Structure 1
Amino acid sequence: MFLERVVENLEKKSDKVVLIDKKNGKYIPLTFKDLKKRISTIQDKLSELNEEDRVVIFMENSPLWIASLFAVIFKRGIAVPSDYLLSEKEIFNIFRDAQPRYIITSSANEEKVKKAVKKLGYKPAVINVDKLSFDEDKPLTVKVPDIDEVAVILYTSGTTGNPKGVMLTYKNLNHNIEGIEDTGVLRENDRFAAILPFHHTYPLLVTAILPIVEALPVAFIEKLTPNDILSTIREQNVTIMVGVPKLYQVIYHNIMVEIGKLSGPKKSIVNSALKLFKKVGIKKLQRAVFKEVHKKIGPSLRFMISGGAKLNVEVAKGLEALGFNILEGYGLTETSPLVSVNRPDKKKIGSAGLPIKGVEVKIVNGEIVVKGDNVMKGYYNRPEETEAVIRDGWFYTGDLGFIDDDGFIHITGRAKDVIVLDNGKNVYPEDIENEIFKSNYILEVGVFEEDGVIKAIIRPDFELLIEEGVEDIHEFIKQEVKRTTRHLQSYKKVKEFKLTDRELPRTRIGKLRRFMLPDMYKEI
């Protein structure tokens, strides 16, 4: 099991650098020996933790976050990673449901925790890891759990605004780690970057747990800006970027804007090369032609991994044409998270890849249904809701899609997002969004239906539009919407839209919170 491999790394690879922190612009390397000290010191503060006691981890990504996770599960406690950006009311709701014995936090979040705890009716112990000293070598406690025991409870951020606690067992996590290893993606000199928040199952598994199991370094990002992310990837020779579609959309958009600023023969050559490489790709040649782009993004990058939401096909094709290697996957919190992924040697752009080892996938009435050791134990304290989604061992995902003749999974949307018009026609908002997003002048688009009318909220690239001297931005975007959707059937076309300079409402992992769009539309 993966826990035994972590213990072995702590003991036998004590001098190997595994975490690279970043503070005030400086990188601070931490070895397995340093990690062990931090785990044992935090365990010392968890002195009264019993097996199956819940421990909420409520803080920003850091080496101490990872140390806190292993401090808890090494003692057979249940870790409850929570989004540190939640409001006092939202975190109180998680505290009330999880009933933690301990809450591990940082100085930046301690005050919010203490305010939420006051309303609980009992007093869990609050540990601020920033106030601990890690100079001493304290004894490390490791209790071997049963593989079917719950390791973590993850509260879904909820695209519907109704978070539930997902119970994942050691078997679930172990299955996903073995599934990733089976894809052949990893090499012994790989390096990761911790870009996404660990409270979500995708980064938790791939950038918090997996690197510690595999003894592969993970670099932390000090400020979550595109510049700081890319500078860390370059300076720390990161080989595998784990991101969400929104990150790749920003990267691709900025590249295309720069290409648009070229003039004369150079612009013509670059556009011709992109057009050619979208049809026929030779990675070495592509990387040579777009050498400056790779130098800016990260010359060491082997793979861009995309998950958490569906990646726009144009973005994927564009980045592939530029010489990057995109591997898109699919999964849910309830599946630990991985269900399927594209492999380096088996890949279809626009698909979610092939199921990982030990996972069965089928389509029932258009819905994707999953079976395997990756499927959760259930929702915490919600047996009826668990029974509603797990039937005869199959997990009903709520996602719509199909499996092609080669076994690749294709996602078409969420069942609850499908717009059924008065004429009985079904409209998938993501399909419309993907077309509109082909415009280089549009950063984000959210489509929804109201009173039988298909509407959209669009966030244009105002800076680019002003730079190009566009005077009537609304009219310009109207023409862009018409141009990009002219081939769609009339009933799929956007009838009304509004512009905004605000980001559209999304979960922390980048999924559009579509249920919030009508209210946002009214506010604009």
Structure 2
Amino acid sequence: MTRPSGGNIMKLENVPTIRDLLDVAPVKHNDRTFIKFIRDEKIIEKKFSEVRSDGLAVCRFLRRNIPERTHIAIISKSTYEYIACMTGILTAGHVAVPIDPDSTASDAAAIINDADATVLIYGEEFSDRLEEVKALCPLLKTAMVISPEKYEKIYEDFSETSEYASLSDINMDPDACCLIIYTSGTTGDKKGVMLSCEALVSNLIFEPYDPIVIRVDTMLSILPLHHIFCFICGYIGPLNVGNCVCLNGEMKDLFKNLLIFKPNQIRVVPLIAQGILARIRGVQAKHPELSPKEAAALVTGGNLDLMLSGGAYLDPALCKAFEPYGILIRQGYGMSEASAKVTLPDPDCPPDSVGRIMSTVDVRIVGGEIQLDTPGMMMGYYKRPEETAEAITEDGWLRTGDIGRVDENRVLYITGRLKNLIILSNGENVSPEGIENRFKANRLVEEVLVYAEKDVIVAEIFPNADFAAQSGITDIKAALEEYTDKLNETALPSHIVAKLIVRDTPLEKTSIGKIKRTHN
């Protein structure tokens, strides 16, 4: 590592590039199937060698048509072409700027402008917003659509036997920025996190013991690839380890695709895990003659035994609820500023933890805050030196903003978020997550958000109507008020919930299912 280190993390040398991973994968993994996806109701399979060839063809196309070190915004659903495009951008030495495909034109334009992107590569589903984006982005010079037909021609015209073959023979600078990824922003403030090529791969390559990742499984990729958690753990990690990645596509197709691809493992946010559990329980209710594992197989395809959760708090009760179905669910911890991975979702760790700290990561607790030293640390926030200085200490540690503790086995526990702390007029600091977690122990609570209003604690709840119906609860508000009173009996005075709001609609969320804290 060339970046100054504040802690005692493992010193890394000869970190491979993404191009290195692509080059060795076909031999290392016996050129088996790497990516599966559905197109025109048929399952398409791509071997490691084909993913390499297609990605490098896009690399040559971009090198032929776009100036060096161009910032390229990419806004598309999680398709195979998206993977080929991202691979091409990163191996060509350009800078990728992924954007949520569900963004409005104004939100997408704000990121394109902030990132100084001059090229936009977009999915066909974004065509209805393209002209508005062009009008809002004066620096944007080129817009290219991602379509299977267009990319098949690129794969052919820029193959390794074409006249452009030498264009992919470049030396990648591992310390150069290759990705500007905008934080999902639960409070609405999106910042561009600059990550180097080395940061993207270092934690994944040099972890000597990862009991979950080293399994060569079939994975169903559910979460959007524009998010760092999914891109690192659902593409770069499997490229190194040899997993087969099945692309889910639309969220509405999740349960259909679980049965088609029959994955061994999936990566989820807690909201998705709750939905899968509810579907399994629904099957059980209709077919009481089935064993728990038989009921689960009718929902998940029969092979699923591992769910890795991230992005939000995972209730230990949810982990317990999956046990009868033979499914282990554990959570890891990471953040965009640390290239997604900080801990391993070790099955031996307590379910109320967020996993075991990776050997390549050093952690310290300062004033209750978790601070990191990691080879995956960001280079900084794009064009935001003041915010970068606030995020990285003078001695080189990344301030996570999370409150927590580490035990003697390097297991990490998260207890709250600094920016979410409620500071009452009497000086008391209240972590809303702690109160929310107590509410989540009740299955009647589907979603909950705790905040302060006029110096009192408010809990806003979206109830689980299905559970209420199954349990014969007719007055949901009264049941929630009774439960709130019960919690208040044992709560600290500063943690008493004085106001309860029962919602008819779900709380507003980010693209990966985090509840937005618009009241903080």
Q: TM-score range by the shorter chain?
A: 0.7 to 0.9
The answer on whether the counterparts of 1:457 and 1:517 sit within 8 Å (CA) in structure 2 is no
Q: Distance in 2 between matches of 1:57 and 1:400?
A: 34
Q: Distance in 2 between matches of 1:501 and 1:304?
A: 30
The answer on whether the counterparts of 2:216 and 2:241 sit within 8 Å (CA) in structure 1 is no
Tell me the TM-score normalised to structure 2 length: 0.87
The answer on whether the counterparts of 1:49 and 1:75 sit within 8 Å (CA) in structure 2 is no
Q: 1:494 to 1:316 in 2, by over 3 A?
A: same
With 410-419 and 475-484 compared, the bigger mean Cα shift is at: 475-484
**Match of residue 522 from structure 1:** none
Q: 1:494 to 1:297 in 2, by over 3 A?
A: farther
Q: CA deviation at 1:419?
A: 1.5
Of 348, 351, 375, the match for 2:350: 348
Q: Distance in 2 between matches of 1:303 and 1:201?
A: 21
The answer on whether the counterparts of 2:183 and 2:192 sit within 8 Å (CA) in structure 1 is yes
The answer on whether the counterparts of 2:270 and 2:313 sit within 8 Å (CA) in structure 1 is yes
Q: Distance in 1 between matches of 2:93 and 2:217?
A: 30
The correspondence of residues 42-61 of structure 1 with structure 2, limited to 5 A, is 42-43=58-59, 45-46=61-62, 47-61=64-78
**Match of residue 138 from structure 1:** 158
Q: CA deviation at 1:143?
A: 2.1
Q: CA deviation at 1:433?
A: 1.3
Q: Distance in 1 between matches of 2:276 and 2:476?
A: 23
Of 188, 213, 236, the match for 2:240: 213
Aligned-partner SS, 2:435: helix
Q: CA deviation at 1:118?
A: 2.0
The correspondence of residues 85-96 of structure 1 with structure 2, limited to 5 A, is 85-96=102-113
Q: Distance in 2 between matches of 1:262 and 1:292?
A: 8
Q: Distance in 2 between matches of 1:326 and 1:372?
A: 25
Aligned-partner SS, 1:363: strand
Aligned-partner SS, 1:183: coil
Code of the aligned partner of 2:261:
Q
Q: CA deviation at 1:486?
A: 4.2
**Match of residue 450 from structure 2:** 447
Would you say 1:232 and 2:234 are equivalent positions? no
The answer on whether the counterparts of 2:194 and 2:379 sit within 8 Å (CA) in structure 1 is yes
Would you say 1:164 and 2:191 are equivalent positions? yes
Q: Distance in 2 between matches of 1:181 and 1:79?
A: 29
**Match of residue 430 from structure 1:** 433
With 240-249 and 367-376 compared, the bigger mean Cα shift is at: 240-249
**Match of residue 309 from structure 1:** 312
Of 178, 183, 194, the match for 2:221: 194
Q: CA deviation at 1:386?
A: 0.9
Q: Distance in 1 between matches of 2:151 and 2:300?
A: 37
Per-residue Cα deviation, 1:114-164 (whole angstroms, up to 9, x for no partner): 321222223421111215051525235242312211121101121221111
Q: 1:252 to 1:438 in 2, by over 3 A?
A: farther
**Match of residue 13 from structure 2:** none
Would you say 1:246 and 2:246 are equivalent positions? no
Q: Distance in 1 between matches of 2:499 and 2:215?
A: 52
The answer on whether the counterparts of 2:292 and 2:324 sit within 8 Å (CA) in structure 1 is no
The answer on whether the counterparts of 1:194 and 1:221 sit within 8 Å (CA) in structure 2 is yes
Q: 1:43 to 1:229 in 2, by over 3 A?
A: same
Q: CA deviation at 1:234?
A: 3.6
The answer on whether the counterparts of 2:423 and 2:430 sit within 8 Å (CA) in structure 1 is yes
Q: Distance in 2 between matches of 1:194 and 1:362?
A: 33
Q: 1:422 to 1:294 in 2, by over 3 A?
A: farther
Q: CA deviation at 1:243?
A: 0.9
The answer on whether the counterparts of 1:169 and 1:377 sit within 8 Å (CA) in structure 2 is yes
Q: Distance in 2 between matches of 1:205 and 1:318?
A: 28
With 148-157 and 213-222 compared, the bigger mean Cα shift is at: 213-222
Code of the aligned partner of 2:76:
M
Aligned-partner SS, 2:331: strand
The answer on whether the counterparts of 1:88 and 1:113 sit within 8 Å (CA) in structure 2 is yes
Q: CA deviation at 1:379?
A: 0.8
Of 130, 133, 146, the match for 1:113: 130
Code of the aligned partner of 1:347:
C
Of 24, 27, 37, the match for 1:21: 37
**Match of residue 273 from structure 1:** none
Q: Distance in 1 between matches of 2:340 and 2:427?
A: 34
Using the aligned pairs only, state the percent identity: 27
Q: 1:23 to 1:456 in 2, by over 3 A?
A: farther
Code of the aligned partner of 2:118:
R
With 166-175 and 30-39 compared, the bigger mean Cα shift is at: 30-39
Code of the aligned partner of 1:199:
H
Aligned-partner SS, 1:192: strand
Code of the aligned partner of 1:465:
A
Would you say 1:461 and 2:464 are equivalent positions? yes
Per-residue Cα deviation, 1:492-523 (whole angstroms, up to 9, x for no partner): 23221222232212222222211x248xxxxx
Q: CA deviation at 1:253?
A: 4.3
Q: Which runs of 5+ in 1 are unaligned?
A: 271-287, 519-524
Q: 1:261 to 1:300 in 2, by over 3 A?
A: closer
Code of the aligned partner of 1:342:
P
**Match of residue 499 from structure 2:** 496
Aligned-partner SS, 1:406: coil
Q: 1:179 to 1:87 in 2, by over 3 A?
A: farther
Q: 1:464 to 1:237 in 2, by over 3 A?
A: closer
With 1-10 and 310-319 compared, the bigger mean Cα shift is at: 1-10
The answer on whether the counterparts of 2:121 and 2:143 sit within 8 Å (CA) in structure 1 is yes
Q: Which runs of 5+ in 2 are unaligned?
A: 1-15, 161-167
**Match of residue 278 from structure 1:** none
Q: Distance in 2 between matches of 1:259 and 1:42?
A: 48
Per-residue Cα deviation, 1:149-192 (whole angstroms, up to 9, x for no partner): 11211011212211111011111112122255631323464111
Tell me the TM-score normalised to structure 1 length: 0.86
The answer on whether the counterparts of 1:253 and 1:440 sit within 8 Å (CA) in structure 2 is no
Q: Distance in 1 between matches of 2:330 and 2:440?
A: 21
Q: 1:192 to 1:471 in 2, by over 3 A?
A: closer
Q: 1:73 to 1:195 in 2, by over 3 A?
A: same
Code of the aligned partner of 2:90:
I
Q: 1:495 to 1:18 in 2, by over 3 A?
A: same
Q: Distance in 1 between matches of 2:208 and 2:17?
A: 12
The answer on whether the counterparts of 1:435 and 1:485 sit within 8 Å (CA) in structure 2 is no
Q: Distance in 2 between matches of 1:405 and 1:40?
A: 45
Q: 1:480 to 1:255 in 2, by over 3 A?
A: farther
**Match of residue 24 from structure 2:** 8
The answer on whether the counterparts of 1:18 and 1:30 sit within 8 Å (CA) in structure 2 is yes
RMSD over equivalenced CA pairs, Å = 2.7
Q: CA deviation at 1:236?
A: 1.5
**Match of residue 480 from structure 2:** 477
Q: 1:332 to 1:15 in 2, by over 3 A?
A: closer
Q: CA deviation at 1:454?
A: 0.9
Q: CA deviation at 1:476?
A: 2.4
Q: Give aligned pairs, total.
A: 492
- Larger RCO: 1 or 2 (CA < 8 Å, sep 6+): 2
Q: CA deviation at 1:195?
A: 0.5
